[in-house]
Amino acid sequence: MYDFAYHRPKSVADAVALLKGKEEARPMSGGMTLIPTLKQRLARPSDVVDLGGIKELAGIKVEGNNVVIGGMTRHYDVASSADVKAQIPALASLAGHIGDPAVRNRGTMGGSVANNDPAADYPAAVVALNATVTTTTGKHTADDFFKGLFETALGEGELITSISFPKAEKAAYVKFPNPASRYAMVGVFVAKTASGVRVAVTGAGPCVFRVKAMEDALAKNFSSAAIKDIKVPADDLNNDIHGSAEYRAHLVGVMARRAVDAANK
């Protein structure tokens, strides 16, 4: 790891000020991706701004029909929250299956969403539940937030403060973890909310994406039988030593059907 200047601000305003004007500065939330990246010398930030000391960024509250989760909320806290379990059990379950217990004690929702790893779990929940990402400069809809491989709508020095998830009538997330890394080879989050049915896929492509054909079919008939013949084209999917694009395309169908069945239970 190359050395860097370390900062531990106490407020969001201080964090934003520290990041401002420093092109090579990086914010750090749980560090579960950033620290391994630094150890491999794949990044060389001039400054690391640790968000771990900012109390206002962590926490979970229910506001009307939404569950609002602070950017620095750890996966363990989402997984074990009585509010999340009661309002959106699929989201609690997703958080409880990220990485392993020690990783869940450190990793955060905001960090995962801001990083937008193609195999991360949370982006699928954000898109399928049509969540709203609130940042230090404004609000982003789920559909506008994820732009591509490790790319988001976040501007320089812009931090995720919270994510607001609408309650779901029905929802489930099912993933096929890579047997070694446990990252999602394919994960599908299916949700039926006030804004309709959404099917979001992570792990399969360079970035989370929706499957419109499945959404339309499920809107008419929310059952796994309704989507059994819908195929996802393999063209733009990931093709690597862990699985071919065709294999991933096949998994999308299988995981989607399992997710619909789980959501109907």
CB of 228 to another protein, least distance (A): 30
Q: Characterize the bridge pairing of strands 47-50 and 25-28.
A: parallel
CB–CB of 166/193 below 8 Å? yes
Q: Which of 18, 19, 25, 48 binds another protein (CB under 8 A)?
A: 48
CB of 181 to another protein, least distance (A): 8
Could you tell me which stretch among 13-21, 48-56, 128-136, 246-254 binds another protein (CB under 8 A)? 48-56
Q: Which of 15, 18, 25, 32 binds another protein (CB under 8 A)?
A: 32
CB of 152 to another protein, least distance (A): 23
In terms of CB distance, is 53 or 206 closer to another protein? 53
Q: Which of 36, 138, 155, 196 binds another protein (CB under 8 A)?
A: 36
Tell me the site size for another protein, rule CB under 8 A: 26
CB of 132 to another protein, least distance (A): 29
CB of 184 to another protein, least distance (A): 14
Which positions from 92 through 111 interact with another protein, judged by CB under 8 A?
A: 99-103, 105-106
| 21: alpha, beta or left? (left if phi > 0; alpha if psi -120 to 50) | left
Judged by CB under 8 A, does residue 43 bind another protein?
Answer: no
Could you tell me which stretch among 47-55, 186-194, 206-214, 234-242 binds another protein (CB under 8 A)? 47-55
CB of 25 to another protein, least distance (A): 13
- Give the dihedral of Cα atoms 69, 70, 73, 79; nearest 10 deg: 0
Which positions from 52 through 81 interact with another protein, judged by CB under 8 A?
A: 52, 76
In terms of CB distance, is 106 or 170 closer to another protein? 106
- Give the dihedral of Cα atoms 86, 115, 194, 77; nearest 10 deg: 10
Give the chain as a 3 state SS string: CCCCEEECCCCHHHHHHHHCCCCCEEEECCCCCHHHHHHCCCCCCCEEEEHHHCHHHCCEEEECCEEEEECCCEHHHHHCCHHHHHHCHHHHHHHCCCCCHHHHCCCEHHHHHHHCCCCCCHHHHHHHCCCEEEECCCEEEHHHHEEECCEECCCCCCCEEEEEEECCCEEEEEEEECCCCCCEEEEEEEEEECCEEEEEEECCCCCCEECHHHHHHHHHCCCHHHHCCCCCCCCCCCCECCECHHHHHHHHHHHHHHHHHHHHC
- Could you give the string, one character per residue 176-215, with x where binding to another protein holds by CB under 8 A and - elsewhere? -----xx---------------------------------
Could you tell me which stretch among 31-39, 141-149, 151-159, 230-238 binds another protein (CB under 8 A)? 31-39
Task: List interacting residues with another protein (CB under 8 A).
Answer: 1-6, 8, 31-32, 35-36, 38-39, 48, 50, 52, 76, 99-103, 105-106, 181-182
